[in-house]
């Protein structure tokens, strides 16, 4: 079995999910937090599965009529299979995926893709337009160009950067809605769904679990994205703590989720001791790294949406995010500007403090 049970009914445990900006908490403290227990002493079953280069962790409470592990294990396995199926379709590391086929042949001829992949491309184009080009699934060549400079603390050659930027622009991805085909306007382009793949995987898993009667579960992908189904028994919300990189306090803020998704994009360059030190989150319009924020957390209805917007909001900054959220009231955000005094001060948008 590729998934595994980490804890079972009646076993109290503590959770630390702090990598890449999130710590999951079920009490006031982000540390040593107990898993919620319902009136009958039940705790969720946890299932873990490796996919998309990370761990998917599903905490699922029993449904009415369930008696234990054997009732939930088949559901978790099926949900993980949906994650695997999506990875086969969109991973650029799998040669037979639609993404790899587009990257290999898209500059030569239109490439037919599965309907689900085409819908994902349309979603990506819409978010690209809504964010004025900041969310861009063609950013791969730019990331490749910055690899060595980032490791050496330098910047890319200006002429090379200009050349690469010619191959980065979602507007140069041609979509044929009738034939469900995709092509590139420029040679050397490539796409990657790394910025939204985990969120979409969580959405598909959550949709299946809800269909099977699950009313309370917390699904996470890589600790940077989560989808909450309902709330823990006897509680109103799942409480998610936003990690404080300075460790002055357990968490910067606690976000409440109920039938919502949450994603965080973070680059804690202050931890290296250099204000404004470059990190690997880019503005694809200029080719430069973003350094104004420590983190951007987004709450919305789907994991795919929060995944895409958390990275975009990190680059956009406070004023532009406020404008976006004003026209999208269903989207909330917590932005943490880079502090000069080592004391992060979160900014709340469409969200009560």
Q: Which residues, including other chains, have CB under 8 Å from residue 105's CB and lie 6 or more apart?
A: 111
pLDDT at 38: 60
Q: Is residue 190 part of a domain?
A: no
How many structural domains is the chain composed of? 2
Q: How far apart are CA 54 and CA 222, in angstroms?
A: 5
Q: Which among 149, 184, 219 is the end of a domain?
A: 184
Strand order through the sheet with 45-51:
3-5, 45-51, 54-60, 216-221, 225-230, 260-266, 293-300, 332-337, 347-349
Say whether both 220 and 328 belong to one domain.
yes
Note whether residue 71 is domain-resident: yes
Residue 81 sits in the same domain as residue 202:
yes
For residues 253 and 162, state if they share a domain: no
Q: Which of 175, 91, 88 is nearest to 126 (CA)?
A: 175
Residue 153 CB partners (closer than 8 Å, separation 6+): 277, 278
State the pLDDT at residue 279.
66
213 and 79 in a single domain? The answer is: yes
Where the chain has pLDDT below 70, the residues are 1-41, 244-252, 268-279, 353
Q: Do 289 and 142 belong to one domain?
A: no
Is residue 15 located within the same domain as residue 103? no
**Confidence at residue 22, expressed as pLDDT on a 0 to 100 scale:** 36
Claim to verify: residue 179 and residue 145 sit in the same structural domain? yes
For the chain, how many residues are written? 353
Cα distances from 309 to residues 6, 116, 172, 195, 203, in angstroms, run 31, 20, 21, 9, 15
Q: Is residue 161 assigned to a domain? A: yes
∠ at Cα 198 (309, 285), nearest 5°?
A: 40
| Residue 92, domain member (yes or no) | no
Shared-domain flag, residues 56 and 204: yes
Instruction: Extract the tokens encoding 198.
Output: 């985990």
What is the phi-psi region of residue 112: left when phi exceeds 0, alpha when psi lies from -120 to 50, beta otherwise? beta
The pLDDT assigned to 291 comes to 80
Same domain assignment for residues 226 and 283: yes
Instruction: Please tell me whether residues 311 and 203 are part of one structural domain.
Output: yes
Whole domain around residue 216: which residue ranges? Answer: 3-85+196-349
Predicted confidence at residue 335, as pLDDT, reads 94
- The domain that holds 39 is classified in CATH as 3.10.520.10
Give 172's contacts (C-beta < 8 A, 6+ positions apart). 138, 184, 185, 186, 189
Report the pLDDT value the prediction gives residue 249, as an integer from 0 to 100.
Answer: 57
CA 301 to chain centre: 13
Asked whether residue 145 is assigned to any structural domain, the reply reads yes
Is residue 189 in a domain?
A: no
Last residue of a domain, one of 135, 152, 184: 184
Answer whether residue 93 is part of any domain.
Answer: no
Q: Which of 184, 211, 239 is the last residue of a domain?
A: 184
Residues 210 and 255 in one domain: yes
Asked whether residue 142 is assigned to any structural domain, the reply reads: yes
Q: Are strands 293-300 and 332-337 parallel, antiparallel or unpaired?
A: antiparallel
Same domain, residue pair 49 and 150:
no
Sole residue written with tokens 């107990």: 34
Give the pTM: 0.86
């Amino acid at each position: 079995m590729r998934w595994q049970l980490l804890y079972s009914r009646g076993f109290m445990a503590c959770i630390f999910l702090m990598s890449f900006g999130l710590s999951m908490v079920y009490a006031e403290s982000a540390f040593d937090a107990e898993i919620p227990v319902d009136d009958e002493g039940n705790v969720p079953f946890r299932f873990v599965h490796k996919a998309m280069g990370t761990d998917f962790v599903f905490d699922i409470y029993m449904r009415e009529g369930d008696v234990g592990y054997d009732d939930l294990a088949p559901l978790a396995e099926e949900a993980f299979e949906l994650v695997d199926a999506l990875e086969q379709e969109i991973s650029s590391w799998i040669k037979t995926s639609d993404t790899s086929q587009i990257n290999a042949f898209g500059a030569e001829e239109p490439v037919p893709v599965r309907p689900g992949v085409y819908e994902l491309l349309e979603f990506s184009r819409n978010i690209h337009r809504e964010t004025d080009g900041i969310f861009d699934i063609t950013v791969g060549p730019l990331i490749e160009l910055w690899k060595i400079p980032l490791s050496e603390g330098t910047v890319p050659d200006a002429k090379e950067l200009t050349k690469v930027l010619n191959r980065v622009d979602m507007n140069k991805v041609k979509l044929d809605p009738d034939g469900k085909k995709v092509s590139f306007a420029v040679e050397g382009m490539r796409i990657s769904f790394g910025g939204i793949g985990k969120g979409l995987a969580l959405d598909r898993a959550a949709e299946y679990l809800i269909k099977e009667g699950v009313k309370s579960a917390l699904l996470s992908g890589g600790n940077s994205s989560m989808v909450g189904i309902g709330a823990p028994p006897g509680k109103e919300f799942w409480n998610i703590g936003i990690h404080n990189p300075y460790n002055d306090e357990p968490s910067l803020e606690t976000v409440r989720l109920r039938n919502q998704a949450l994603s965080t994009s973070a680059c804690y360059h202050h931890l290296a001791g250099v204000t404004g030190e470059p990190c690997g989150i880019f503005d694809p319009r200029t080719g430069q790294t973003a350094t104004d924020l420590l983190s951007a957390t987004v709450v919305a209805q789907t994991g795919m949406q929060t995944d895409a917007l958390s990275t975009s909001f990190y680059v956009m900054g406070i004023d532009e995010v406020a404008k976006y959220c004003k026209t999208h009231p269903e989207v909330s955000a917590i932005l943490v500007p880079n502090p000069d005094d080592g004391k992060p001060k979160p900014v709340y948008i469409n969200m009560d403090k």
